[in-house]
Structure 1
Amino acid sequence: MAASTTSSGGLDASWEIDLFGKTRQKSEAAQLRVHEQIANWHEARVSLAAEVADYYVQYRACRQLENAYSVELASQRETIRATETAATSGLTSTADLALARASAASSSSTLTAQRAECEVLVKSLAQVTGGDEARVRQLLAKGKTGIPTPKNFKLAAVPADALRQRPDISALELELAASIADVGAAKADLYPSLSLGGSVTISASSLTGESLPWSFGPALTIPLLDGGSRLAVVKSTIADYDTAVANYKSGVLSAVAEVETALVRVDSTRRRIGDASGAARNYRTYFNSIDSNWRAGGVSLLDREEARRSAQSAEISLIEIRRDAVRYWIALYKALGGGWDAGAASPPQRQTKTQGLF
């Protein structure tokens, strides 16, 4: 028998004619979900930026509170030294000395707790910014020590314009539009589909020569006996659409509540700062007067300590209100989307698909 060499190769291809838009709507749903994930990514960025800013404001306020406690503790230690001298000379009782020492010990304990809280905030900042604590401490040391003052930003209307600036609402809207496309694709799958297919086979042999058989033709698929599976898919996509509608409405209501809550808190703290500033200033004036009388022997140490606690409490409250005012601005900025531009990230087809649904 003579030796022979045989080689062959084949190519198959098919193309489905999109008679009822099934393929087009599946493609559209996939594209919408790509944009949805992009919007989710922007939402994560906005949330992270707000969290970092919030921790930073808390840290600056924490250091101001620490400084206030440190100043008071230093003053109380001077009081202890003066009281010890007076007690040794018999000019005051040992009860006053015990009171001075107890007050200083209480302030020292508060200062220790405040310093620990500041260290916790540093570690929280390091965690949300990548874990480089040394770099975070370096940046904090270079920054301004005061509580930052937020820049004013213009708000045209609440909540209509605000909702268009939130990436999470945009993601919910995109999911809603994608679920509409899924319903359309599932319904289109109930109808017959027409496809064109062909195949080419090339074979060659040293004995028989070359051959090139091929075939080409349409194929019609009619979904008759599928056990109701396609109809079940339609019902499932409709249920998914109902879920997307509920999620969208819930997201909108939550967004409105966040914006309105932040606005109320911003307005409240803005009006409280003036009163708190006046209280801190007048309580400090009162303490200075009582302190002068105490040094002159006109009032007791107990009266002086009560005045000192009132002045310190007012100053602490002022720092906390200023801190909260900035934190509420950050919350409002986040509730408004954090500067995200909805127009630059939205697919054009979304405008036509969701228009007029609600």
Structure 2
Amino acid sequence: MSHARHRLSRAPLVLAGLVAVGLLAGCSLVPPYERPAAPIASHWPDTAGAPGADTTTAADLPWQQFVRDDQLRELIGLALTSNRDLRVAVQNIEQARAQFQIRRADQFPSVGASASGTRSAPNPYQALGGPSVSSSYSVGLGVSAWELDFFGRVAALKDAALASYLATEEARKSSQISLIANVASTWLQLKTDTELLALAERTLGTREQSLALTRLRFEHGAASALDLRQAETLIANARATRAQQQRLRAQDIHLLTLLVGQPLPERLIPAVPALPTPQSPSEPTQASATVAPAAELPAFADVPAGLPSDVLLRRPDIRAAEQQLIAANAQIGAARANFFPRITLTGSLGRVSSDLDGLFGSGGSRAWSFGPAITLPIFDAGRNQAGLDSALAGRDIAVAQYEKAIQTAFREVADALAGRATLAEQLAALQAQAEAERARFQLTDLRYRNGVASSLDLLDAQRSLFAIEQALAQARLAQRANEVQLYKALGGGWSESPAAGA
């Protein structure tokens, strides 16, 4: 009776212990995560212009719809397939996924099978009638040092690995956005440098025509040696500009080849327009042909700006920074758990026999072992505290990086919106100036041929026209490149169109 009462009195203690273990198993020392407030204004600056009424955001606009030129769309498709930086980003995802799986596996016991056999002599039991050789065979299943995660250390490490994995996913999207923008910008630069090369060729032809006329006038005493040397100077300047544009065009092709990740098909490389060299007019008093301007660049789809709070948080780089912040926050929980006891279980279950044939028969016997262990830190010379301090500092760093990512994104979008609001006006003014310079060149050239204007007037008109045509081409490039940068800054480029996804 006394033994029965003793067992009954211990039952509440055992039950209380099981309840306590269950409560501890659900304990987590990870601080509650709160997204930091965005350190930016709620609206874009006034210089950014009107945000637009379209509700479709850039992140929801597939790049196949944003890019309207078929050649550029094909180049981007090749880059997404062969670019090495994008391949590295994809493999980073696979590596982070494997690290997460390793951390998640730590939450479960590792079960392994084992079998062993030993034979030794002399046998200590030989004097009692045993054999001269001692034999022992065993087989079983075992669990080695499985940690009971009472204080959430293993779970916190798993959460940190999961957040790091998600951050690499967002980093891959960010790499794709940058790749698409770089391919589009480089292609626009190549188109512009090709047109500027053609402009230099046409300008060189026009100046050679003017030099021939000046030399003819010099031979007949109607022009001075100074006029002849000035015309030769313009010829040399045009040739130098042509060589420079040839070099820039070649460098653009090399960069585009690197971004695409494979040799470019010839049909996708913008060709230099084959224009004949202007011929001298049949009459000395006939005006020279005006140099044709550079061609227009293909346009892109319009991108609405939206509100900063709705747009910026959808950028993959900002989402990656937030996942890194979540990972740093989880590391604090793991560092805190190091101050508490760590309990591990080791056990095995199997059979043992002195005869191999009887290991699974009647000659064998069941064998088991169970060995829980507890480790409590008492003195570590401040190691655990330093680990916690490091985790707290890591979270503060992650917060600052997250806030900086938002501020950088806000500035990039604001700059692109300011460019969209002003580049159109700048381009219209340059086009008007170019039209005026073309008319001025025609009038000056006609007056020079009829002996009314001086050679200095003609040379100045030629220089001004060439400079404004170059500025106009660069302004067109800036406008189109700004459209690409706005699309990139708003987080566009990582989503696929329904047709591409199918």
TM-score of the alignment, normalized to the shorter chain, above 0.5 = yes
Counterpart of 1:224 (choices 378, 388, 398) is 378
Name 1:117's counterpart in structure 2.
Answer: 248
| Partners of 2:176 and 2:494 within 8 A in 1 | no
The one-letter code sitting in structure 2 at the alignment partner of 1:150 is: F
Q: Does 1:273 align with 2:405?
A: no
Q: For structure 1, which segment, 73-82 or 207-216, has the greater mean C-alpha deviation from structure 2 after superposition?
A: 207-216
In the other structure, the counterpart of 2:302 is: 152
| Structure 2 residue identity aligned to 1:9 | V
Q: Larger radius of gyration, structure 1 or 2?
A: 2
Match of 2:314, SS?
A: coil
Question: Matched residues in 1 for 2:365 and 2:296: separation?
Answer: 86
The C-alpha deviation readout for 1:110-162, integer Å capped at 9, x for no partner, is 11111111111111111222152xx25441148997422122112211x2223
Q: What stretches of structure 2 of length at least 5 have no aligned partner?
A: 1-130, 274-294, 496-502
Preserved contact between residue 73 and residue 107 of structure 1 (Cα < 8 Å): yes
8 A Cα contact 1:166 1:340, kept in partner = no
Q: Which residue pairs with 1:86 in the alignment?
A: 217
Counterpart residue number, 1:315? 469
CA distance in 2, matches of 1:50, 1:243: 29
User: Alpha carbons of 1:102 and 1:143: their partners in 2 closer, same or farther (altered >3 Å)?
Assistant: closer
Match of 1:57 among 188, 196, 199: 188
Q: How many residues align?
A: 338
Identity of aligned residues (%): 30
Q: Give yes or no for contact 1:4–1:206 (8 Å, CA) kept in 2.
A: no
Give the aligned residue type for 1:205. Answer: S
Conservation of the 8 A alpha-carbon contact between 1:64 and 1:146: no
How far is the alpha carbon of 1:324 from its aligned partner? 1.0
Q: More displaced, 172-181 or 72-81?
A: 72-81
Aligned-partner residue type, residue 208 of structure 2: R
Cα distance in 1 for residues equivalent to 2:135 and 2:484: 77
Pair 1:139 & 2:262 matched: no
Give the conservation status (yes or no) of the 8 Å contact 1:56–1:125. yes
Per-residue CA deviations over 1:67-112 (Å, capped at 9, x if unaligned) read 1121111111111222233333333334322322221122111111
1:8-42 residue CA offsets vs partner (Å, 9 max, x unmatched): 23432154333222222221111111011111122
Q: In proportion to residue count, which structure has more helix? A: 1
What residue number does 2:233 align with?
A: 102
Counterpart position of 2:460: 306
Q: Residues 269-348 of structure 1 correspond to what in structure 2 (within 5 A)?
A: 269-340=423-494
Deviation at 1:172, TM superposition (A): 0.9
Counterpart of 1:9 in structure 2 is: 139
The 3 A distance-change label for structure 1 pair 59 and 291 is same
Amino acid at match of 1:156: G
The answer to whether the 8 Å contact 1:194/1:219 transfers is yes
The TM-score, its normalising length taken from structure 2, stands at 0.63
Q: Which of 198-207 and 245-254 deviates more?
A: 198-207
Partners of 1:113 and 1:218 in 2: CA distance: 77
Distance apart, 1:243 and its partner CA: 1.2
CA–CA distance in 2 between the matches of 1:249 and 1:95? 63
1:166 to 315, 327, 343: 315
| Aligned AA (2:402) | Y
CA distance 1:143–1:293, shift in 2 (3 Å): closer
TM-score by length of 1: 0.86
In the TM superposition, what is the alpha-carbon distance from 1:236 to its structure 2 partner?
A: 1.6
Match for 1:147: what amino acid? Answer: L
Query: Would the aligned equivalents of 2:194 and 2:249 in 1 still touch at CA under 8 Å?
Result: yes
Q: Does 1:177 align with 2:331?
A: no
The alignment's C-alpha RMSD in Å is 2.5
Q: 2:137·2:355 contact (CA, 8 Å) conserved in 1?
A: no
CA distance in 2, matches of 1:38, 1:46: 13
Partner SS state of residue 92, structure 1: coil
CA pair 288-42 structure 1, distance change in 2 beyond 3 A? same
Measured in 1, the distance between the counterparts of 2:378 and 2:404 equals 40
* SS of aligned partner of 1:213: strand
Structure 2 CA distance for aligned equivalents of residues 82 and 160 of structure 1: 65
- 2:348 — aligned with what? 199
Unmatched tracts of structure 1, length 5 or more: 342-358
CA distance in 2, matches of 1:112, 1:118: 10
